[in-house]
A and B are shown apart, each in its own frame.
Chain A
Amino acid sequence: ALVVVFSPLPRLRGLLQRCWGRLERGLLPGFSGGQSPPWGPALAVQAPAFLPEPVRDTTESNEAPSLLDSILWMAAPKKRRTIEVNRCRRRNPNKLIKLKRNIDVCPECGNLKQKHVLCGYCYAKVKAETRLIRMEIHKKEGGPFNAPTVETVILYDGEKPTEKHEGKRIIERARKRPSWFVQN
């Protein structure tokens, strides 16, 4: 019985040979494909590198290989997609970036903002101030799990605690009250 050592498909073998040749010539001459079979890495193969039944009788090889027609045979492109076809697909209007019509000007700072989103500049401003307040709170508490059960009131320069802030915790901030932080 004839024992076929490698894949009977000349196209697959040629592709793998070309890939391997390019790799060997190019990048790392010392680096081999590891324990892969000697005819190249399994890059984009439509069939597995070795067939499940390499042993074939001469009589059987004449008829259409029925085992190759089964689920192991993958879908593959028949022809190369031309650049014209590629361009039609890539430049189709549904792939182009759509114009945004929901950009406005923030009335507070004058930067641009999206209509349904907070202004980025104003949010960053508030975030910075909140961070400083939280640092003051941390200094006052002195550790984790020390949060009091009463409300907190933040007072800026020149503000005295009134009878409204009776049982509440006072946090002092050593700066002028920002215009956006309204005192109630």
Chain B
Amino acid sequence: MLSELTDDIILNILWKIEDDPRDWARLSCVSTKLNSLIHDFCWKNKTSLIIPSQLLVSSSQDHSLHKLPFCCPGLVHAGILFNTADSPEENQHQQSITSSSSTPSCSLVQQSNECSTYWSLYDDLYHDTLYADSESNHQQEQEESKENTIRTGVVDVPPESKKIKVNGSLSSHLATGKWTLSREQGSKLLARQFRDDCLYVCDWPGCVHLEEKRKYRVFRGVFMNFKKTRVWKTVNDCSNRRKIDLPCAFCSCNHTWDLHSAFCLRRGFGYHDDGEPVVRAFVCDNGHVSGAWTDVPMYT
């Protein structure tokens, strides 16, 4: 029945569902005709309104730029749940997140080849549903193993009190807040010596996540011509200790660089009493940035 409709009729319908980018993402997985119409007309028009033109021109082949304005990386990819001094349980928890997120996308990609190069937020929504199930299974396994083993010299704290109680999605999801990117937001993040690097970050406040401990304003962004930036030179020249196994939310990079410990972020943000940094940001090899702001502690 779709083949009977002319392109202009289909476009008329597509423009009526532009409010939620997930609908376009799902539709583009349905057929090649819809995929080309959405990609060539809808996304192009939409991104030209929210992404600065110089960034669009320099990243014309980067399909992840279609995802970045709308997709919050979530607590996982913003590194909030990733702790370099974490316990074995939290390591396992992190691994279970990344492994559960990779499996469903394979089965969804098999639906149509177009999906492998064209992102669908449907994939991320599917991940969220599966993650909820896998998390509850993992908690069960943890409890069972704790009953069986007695470890000497270690205080066994119940997992519930150690885990951060989370509201909303842990992995990537449709971002709340503004979907526009600006260089001004990016420049607020970087240290002075990197002021010539063009970092575009979503407008304030990003996607706000209210957690038990504190409020996180999760942001996403991208460097223009990342491999020519001073930030890239800095993270690349330094030793591999700043490269971490935190996958990018926007492309297939399996690791990212911690901009905070590479001294790329503006000085003076400081830390909370529990050692958590006030601002954190991670960048992948393609220049995609995920991170989070927290409120500056009132009493230091």
A and B are interacting partners: no
Q: Which residues of B contact A (CB under 8 A)?
A: none
Q: Which residues of A contact B (CB under 8 A)?
A: none
